[in-house]
Structure 1
Amino acid sequence: MSVQMPVLKEPERKRRGNKKLLAIVILLFMALLAVLFFNSSISKISEIQISGLQYTTNAEVVEAAGIETGDAFFRVSSASLAERVSKLPEVEKVDVTKSFPGVIKLKVQEYPVVAFELSSEGSWVALLSNGTETVDEENGIRLADKPVLTGWSKEDPVKKELTAKLAAIPSKQLSDLSEIMPDPSTAYPDRIRMYTRTKFEVITAVSVLTEKIEALNAVIETQEPGKITMLLADTYVPFDQEDSGNSQNGQKDTTQ
């Protein structure tokens, strides 16, 4: 008895050519969309928003960032923009936010004003905490709560160190300092002489200023005006005792 074998169907051939053609068409379409997108206004910078400026101008920030409206929105990263703007001498920190489509926001934090100085031209300039000199339109108001630096050379490295130390002093204590001048010695090249608005004279050094400021504040709050020395050892002498001591020394000198 013969058995009829089932007819085997030939497997359908895959239409590889059609799939390749479809992939090529899709790629070309995506490339076309990309070209159209990057050449359209939606991919360009339409607005640059800058906030937090007091000593730096918008134009300086935009120039430092190296961007302008109409540039490609995706050409530079937020980190690159922040790094560029941070190189401005007045700028301490920058936060950059890119909001699609086309808006770039730069929030700038500048170094704070810690002191003032009279320039050679006779105008007041503000000193920032990093030692940068800048024009401050509000210096007439700020002079009341910041010290004035006198007798310092322009490139004195101790002055730059001093401005950094002043930034670490609380506002209330900083506002009592009225004048700071250099008073170097062999033992302390960074020694300074300060005068306070509460009528004290203070001898100290820039290197120990922040660690001595609390002790200085305690003396000012509890003692009569006098001369305070805060170096390796701390001393306090009221002005009336110092005057009497000076007069006695003068009498001894005349009799010897």
Structure 2
Amino acid sequence: MSKHKRRKTRISAVHYNEYDDDPRKQYLAEVKAKKARRRRHLLISCIIIGLIVVYFVSPVSKIQSIQVKGLVNLKADEVKASIQKETSGYYLFTSTKNIENKLKKHALIKKCHVSKTIAGGLRIEIQEAKPVAYAIFQNKTYVIDELAHVEEVSDVNFIKKLESTPRLMSFDSLEHIQTFADQYIQLPYILRNSISDVIFSPKAADPTSIRFVMDNGKQLIVRLNDISKVLSQKKFDYEAYMTEYSDACIFSFEGDSIYITNCQ
């Protein structure tokens, strides 16, 4: 009689899940989990929005301070007043580049750099432009700087400093003063340094005639729009002419010609 061996039956491990027998419960659990995540995200979003709103309605969102460095003739209050529009908004949205561009149009400012500070303020570093002349127009004083900026000034001490530079007189408009400034800054330094007064003296034949009164008493007469051309070092060597024509008093420029009149 043959013996049969019993086969051992391998029983695989079965993990029981309470939702395996009911897909609806599994679906509801997933929906519940999604709703919980959405609520968390919504809560976090609300907190962030709330913090943003609180920040922008509080004074902290504005520019806290403005520091101005490098001033010689300018006043810090004048600089701040000139950029009031650009600095009246929110600190985060304030453009330092826009402020720099605005300041570069200001008289007596040659270069400037604007940066933001950690404390919510602005730091402005300025290199001033040199004043090269000043004008009296309608009982007001205007400074002309080395970049041809023309701007009214009222500070008594600064006006006193300007008296060491050439003075413009009898000009009939600010437009002509600005045109003069654009021409004047192109002149050789030695010539500019020898000028005492600049007088707007129109004639019937030349309504924009300019008379330069030099420190030595001699006079140069030239049309307003021709100043930089006819008084350039190439066209008119001032020192050479003063040496060669030491007895002359008036040098009148008409086109490419120079008419020289001796002193009476």
Post-superposition offset of 1:204: 0.8
Alignment of 1:174-185 (within 5 A): 174-185=192-203
- 2:169 alignment counterpart: 150
Higher Rg: 2
Q: Distance in 2 between matches of 1:233 and 1:68?
A: 48
Contact 2:62 2:90 in 1 (8 A): yes
Residue of 134, 147, 164 corresponding to 2:153: 134
Once the two structures are overlaid, the 10-residue window that deviates more, 183-192 or 207-216, is 183-192
TM-score by length of 2: 0.65
Q: Which runs of 5+ in 1 are unaligned?
A: 1-6, 244-256
Contact 2:106 2:149 in 1 (8 A): no
1:224 aligned onto 2:245: yes
Task: Choose the corresponding residue for 1:165, options 183, 186, 192.
Answer: 183
Question: 2: CA distance between counterparts of 1:147 and 1:107?
Answer: 29
- Structure 2 distance, partners of 1:160, 1:49, is 31
Aligned to 2:229: 211
Deviation per CA, 1:92-127, whole angstroms, max 9, x where unpaired?
A: 876432223311123456775332345787xx9453
Partners of 2:88 and 2:203 lie apart in 1 by 59
Is this contact kept in 2: 1:55–1:134, CA < 8 A?
no
The code of the aligned residue for 2:153 comes to: T
**Partner Cα separation in structure 2 for residue 180 and residue 229 of structure 1:** 14
- 1:182 and 1:191 in contact (8 A); partners too: yes
Q: Does 1:237 align with 2:257?
A: no
- The letter for the 2-side match of 1:204 is V
Secondary structure of the corresponding residue to residue 216 of structure 1: coil
TM-score normalized by structure 1? 0.67
**RMSD of aligned residue pairs (Cα, Å):** 4.3
Structure 1 CA distance for aligned equivalents of residues 122 and 108 of structure 2: 21
Contact 1:55 1:135 in 2 (8 A): no
CA deviation after TM superposition for structure 1 residue 178, in Å: 1.3
The question of whether the paired residues in 1 share the 8 Å contact of 2:73 and 2:158 is answered with: no
User: Are positions 1:23 and 2:56 aligned together?
Assistant: no
Identity %: 18
AA matched with 1:237: I
| Cα distance, 1:21–1:97 mapped onto 2, change above 3 Å | same
**CA–CA distance in structure 2, aligned partners of residues 140 and 37 of structure 1:** 48
Distance 1:141 1:165 in 2: 23
Unaligned runs of 5+ in 2: 1-13
Deviation at residue 82 of structure 1 after TM alignment: 5.1
Comparing 59-68 with 160-169, greater Cα deviation is found at 59-68
> In 2 relative to 1, CA 126–72 (structure 1 residues): closer, same or farther, beyond 3 Å?
closer
> What per-residue deviation string (whole Å, max 9, x for no partner) do you get for residues 156-181 of structure 1?
64233212322333443311111221
* CA spacing shift, 1:101–1:118, aligned 2, 3 Å: closer
Residue-pair matches, total: 234
Judging changes above 3 Å, is the alpha-carbon distance between structure 1 residues 222 and 187 closer, same or farther for their aligned structure 2 residues? Answer: same
Counterpart in 2 of 1:96?
114
Q: What displacement does 1:212 show?
A: 1.8
| 1:66–1:118 Cα change, 3 Å | closer
Q: 1:216 corresponds to which letter in structure 2? A: F
Q: Give the counterpart letter for 2:44 in structure 1.
A: I
Secondary structure, in 3 states, of the residue corresponding to 1:228? strand
